[in-house]
Amino acid sequence: MADLVYKRVSTDQQSTARQNLVLAEAGIDDPVAFEEEARTSSRLHHLQRPGFGGLLTYARPGDTVHNSEMFRLVRGTGHILDVLDVLHRNQVALRIHDGAFSGMDLTPRHPRTGELLSTVKFRVQPLAAAGELQRDLQRELTYDGLRAPEAKGNKGGRRPALAGETVTDVRAAYLEGQSIAALAREHHVSCGAIRTAVTDLLPEHVAADAPVPAPELPITLDMPGKVADFLRTAELDDAERAALNHGQAVRRGTGYTLRVTAVPALHRQLLDRCQSLDGVGAIPAQRKARREYANRVSDLDQ
């Protein structure tokens, strides 16, 4: 069982120093760290963020995700419940070490249904709504504070170290091959001021503009027991075999289903492996089981 640490900042002007301090004080042994890149948009749902997606792919049942405070992990009531639902389906625990959610067990299940306990939702929703209200009020007060100066033609924030023709000269010199450090010395400003002036010309900015496909996130599907029994005797690759081995068996009358957590592509591979169950020689119960699984896999594309 692993301890997974997740850290995130909103902009590249911020650091994870405070998060590091809180997590260090928690005394987590041998953590596996996942950190979101600062330029990742704050508007992205956390289940679509590359760093958190990598954590979910790495996580195994019984692991624990550690976070300094809830709003470093998610934004808004709906996002919190979405993330809690994914974690509890993957049998991954969540521990928040600071703020209103600290010390709470956020991913317990009902002993019979396996669903996220309604009492957890009842505790989480008002705390999340209060945090959301606080952020909204801060935004409104900031906006109101900036309106009066803007009405007089003043722009809020620190004055840029470089302006006007100087910026044009700096950009031209950078394109001609002069280094950021040399330009900073020449104009008696910091390297950060030069970077701000040429930010859209930097190699990493150009690379960031290229469309990057979103990583597939693990999905939990109920695989009929007859399909699971067949696949256990089939030739599978390591990833397919691991997905089956980590599946959770749920009894259904005289049979069972296997809750398998895997990325959609892996579910499709497993479906292809049991194609013979829909053939002429298969018994009706096997055909029915494979079609049930096929319907669930096809729903992933909708």
| pLDDT tens track for 139-153 | 677 666 666 666 666
Sheet arrangement for strand 255-262: 219-224, 255-262, 248-252
Strand, helix or coil for residue 246: coil
Q: Work out the average pLDDT over 37-65.
A: 79
Q: Is 269 exposed, middle or buried (0-12, 13-18, 19+ CB in 10 A)?
A: middle
State pLDDT tens for residues 223-274.
Answer: 999 999 999 998 888 888 888 888 888 887 888 999 998 888 899 999 999 9
> Which is more confident, 265 or 107?
265
Output the pLDDT for position 238.
85
Structure tokens at 251: 């009894």
Distance of alpha carbon 263 from alpha carbon 196, whole angstroms: 39
State pLDDT tens for residues 53-100.
Answer: 888 889 998 899 898 887 777 766 667 777 877 887 888 888 888 877
Which amino acid does the sequence have at 60?
R
Q: What percent of the chain has pLDDT over 70?
A: 71
Lowest mean pLDDT among 211-220, 238-247, 258-267, 277-286: 211-220
Strand partners, 65: 4, 94
Give the Cα-Cα-Cα angle 113, 46, 245 (nearest 5 degrees): 45
pLDDT, the chain, mean: 79
